Chains A and B, each alone.
Chain A
Amino acid sequence: MKQTITEQFDANAAELLAKHNLMNAVYAVLAIIFVGILLYLVRLDRKVSKIEKQS
C-alpha cells in the first residue's frame, strides 16, 4: 500500500514527537534559573568585597 503525503507527514510527526524527549526542556529551564541566580549572587559577592576593601 502506498502512503499518501499526508500519511507520511503524520507518521513523521508521530515519530518526531516520540523521539523528542521534552524532559530536556525541563532540565534546561532549571539550569537557566540556577545559572541566572548564581551570576547575580556572584555580582553581589563582588560588591561586598569592594566594600570590605574600602573599610
Chain B
Amino acid sequence: MNWKKHWYKWIAALFLLYVVLGGLFLPLKSGITGLSPVKITSGGSQTLKINVYNAPWLKENAFNDKEIGQGNYQIPTKVMLVSKGTMGKFQTTAIKFSGDHGQLLASMNLNMGSSKLSNEYYSVFIELSNGKYLGLPEAIYLERGANDTAGKSDFIAEENTQARGDREIFEMSFPNRMVLNESVRNLFYHVPMWFAMLALLGMACWYAIKYLRFGHLEDDMFADSLVRVGILAGILGCITGATWARVTWQSWWPAADPKLNGVAIGMTMYFAYLLLRSTLTDPYQRARITAVYSVFIFPIFIALIVIMPKLSPNSLHPGSGGTVGFNKYDLDSTMRLFFYPAVIGWIALYYWIANLRYRIATLKEKELNA
C-alpha cells in the first residue's frame, strides 16, 4: 500500500464514516421547542404550555419517581420569564405535565402592578434540579393588561440574571434550536457540499494559472475535471439546501435570500464554462480560453456566494446579515468535532472523484492520439 499516494482516499473514507455515524446517532440536547401562547396580557394567574424536546425527565414519569434530583433524574423546579430590557424575571414553581408527551404546564402570577415595566419580549427558562437551564430566547411578548395598573408586582428585579450567562458543562450532544431541531445535523452534509465546491473550484483556478504559466495540457485537463466535479458538489448543495429549506423555512427556494441568488448566478457562470469548453475543438486554444475564463470567474463566484450575503441585511443563512453563525450556539463545540472532519472528508471524496475523472480523460486523450 502506497500511503503517500492514497492518503486522501483514507481520509475521505474514515472521516466520512465518522461523520455519518456520529452525525446521525449523537443525541440532541434537550431544549424548548415551542411555547403557547406567544403573546400574553398581564394580570392574574396565567398558564403557559411549553414544549420540551429530548429531555430525559419527560420519558420517565420523573415527577413520581423517588430518586428525583439525585443522580440522573433531573426535574424542572422553576419556570422563569426573564426580561431583556429590565433586569429581572417572573417565576413560578407550579409546574405539571399536561399529559401530552413533551409538554409542560406552568402556572404563574403575571402582575405588573404599579412597577414601571414596559411591554416587551421575555425569554423563557426552565430551571432543572441540578441547576442547569433550558432556555428559549425572546420567546414570549408580555403586554400590560387593562386592569393591571395598580397593586403589587410579581416581577422580581435582579441586578444580574444568572440564567442568561449560564453554560452547560461538556456533554456529547448537538445544540437544540427552534425551527432547526433535529435537522441541525444537516450542517455536516449540506454545508460541506459548498466548502467542497469552493475548494475544488479554487484548485481548478490554481491549475488554470499553472497551465497559463507552463503550458502543460495535463494541468488544463485536471483543472477541467476539478471544475466538473465542483459543479456536481454545487448541484447537490442546491438540492439538499432546497430540501432542508422546505422543512425549516417553508419554501424550496426562498428567493429573497441573497446567498441563493448569488449561487444561482455563480452556477450559471460555471454552466457557461461547460458550454464554452464544448464549443472549442483545438485543445490548446480550448485550454487557454477556458483557463482565462475560470481564473476570471472564481473570484466573482467567491464574491457572490461568500462576501455579498455577509454584507446583505436580510439573509436567512447563518453567519450573514442579521443571523448568527452556528458557532454562536454550539457552546461546547460538539458540532465542531464533526463539522471540521466533515468538511475535510467531503473535500477529499470529491477530490478523489475528480482525480478519477482526470485519469479517464487522459486515457481517452491517449486513445485519440494513438
Q: Is A20 an interface residue (CB 8 A)?
A: yes
Is A22 a contact of B181 with CB atoms below 8 Å?
A: yes
Whether A48 contacts B33 by the Cβ 8 Å rule is: no
Residue of chain A at shortest CB distance from B242: A32
A30 pairs with B20, CB closer than 8 A: yes
Interface contact B360-A44, CB-CB below 8 Å: yes
Using an 8 Å CB-CB cutoff, how does the interface string of A6-20 with B read, 1 for contact, 0 for none? 110011011001101
Given contacts A21-B182, A36-B236, contact A29 B189 (CB under 8 A): yes
User: Residue on B with the closest CB to A52?
Assistant: B363
B185 at the interface (CB under 8 A from A): yes
A26 and B24 within 8 A (CB): yes
With an 8 Å Cβ cutoff, the count of chain B residues facing the other chain is 44
- From B34-42, B59-67, B279-287, the one touching the partner chain is B34-42
Alpha-carbon gap, A26 to B190, bound state (A)? 9
- The CA-CA distance from A22 to B353 in the complex, in Å, is 31
Number of A-B contacts (CB under 8 A): 100
Say whether B51 contacts A29, CB under 8 Å. no
User: A44 — which chain B residues lie within 8 A by C-beta?
Assistant: 353, 356-357, 360
- How large, as a class, is the contact surface on chain A? 20 to 34
Q: Are B353 and A41 in contact (CB under 8 A)?
A: yes
Please indicate the chain B residues that have their CB under 8 angstroms from the CB of A21 in the complex.
182
Answer whether residue A33 sits at the interface, using C-beta atoms and an 8 A cutoff.
Answer: yes
A54, closest chain B residue (CB): B367
Tell me, yes or no, whether A42 is within 8 Å of chain B by CB: no
Give A contacts to B, CB under 8 Å.
6-7, 10-11, 13-14, 17-18, 20-26, 28-30, 32-33, 36-37, 40-41, 44, 47-48, 51, 54-55
> Can you spell out 26 A-B residue pairs with CB atoms less than 8 angstroms apart?
A10-B37, A14-B36, A14-B51, A18-B100, A21-B182, A22-B182, A22-B183, A22-B247, A25-B186, A25-B244, A25-B246, A26-B186, A30-B189, A33-B189, A33-B193, A33-B236, A36-B235, A37-B232, A37-B349, A37-B353, A40-B229, A44-B357, A48-B360, A51-B360, A51-B364, A51-B367
B residues with CB within 8 A of A? 20, 23-24, 33-39, 49, 51, 100-103, 180-183, 185-186, 189-190, 193, 229, 232, 235-236, 239-240, 243-244, 246-248, 349, 353, 356-357, 360, 363-364, 367
